[in-house]
Amino acid sequence: MRTIGILVFDDVEELDFVGPLEVFGTAARFGGDCRTIVIAEFRSPVRCRNGLEVVPERTIDEVGRLDLLLVPGGLGARTHARENARLLRFIRESQSVIASSAPER
């Protein structure tokens, strides 16, 4: 089974992570060999760009090996996530394939 982690952080754009969450969730319901986990720095609720609050399933310290790490883009990626040394280290040290909608700098 492939494990897909979707990283969320303060001000994450809802569509940038909920869209992939829906796609992979639907794939799993139709027999896809995958599971999706929403992860964050802490287990406390994450406030998204437009007010939605999400409670992650695992923290970056708990998640273990991922086959795919999705890093959403948007304003939160350019502000909160880009300034967070722990999140950046987690992404940089990830042994998984990384996909992102955030522009590279």
The tens-digit pLDDT sequence of the chain (105 residues) is 999 999 999 999 999 999 999 999 999 999 999 999 999 999 999 999 999 999 999 999 999 999 999 999 888 888 888 889 999 999 999 999 999 876 655
Residue pointed to by tokens 């794939």: 27
Report if residue 10 sits inside a domain: yes
Report if residue 31 sits inside a domain: yes
Q: 87 φ, ψ to 5°?
A: -65, -45
Domain of 76, in residue numbers: 2-37+48-60+70-100
* pLDDT in the model for residue 50: 94
Report if residue 42 sits inside a domain: no
Report if residue 18 sits inside a domain: yes
Beta pairing, strands 68-71 & 2-7? parallel
Report if residue 96 sits inside a domain: yes
* pLDDT in the model for residue 104: 56
What spatial distance separates the first Cα and last Cα of the chain, rounded to whole Å? Answer: 33
- Considering the entire predicted model, what is its pTM? 0.91
Q: Hey, is 38 helix, strand or coil?
A: strand
Q: How many domains does the chain have?
A: 1
* pLDDT in the model for residue 75: 82
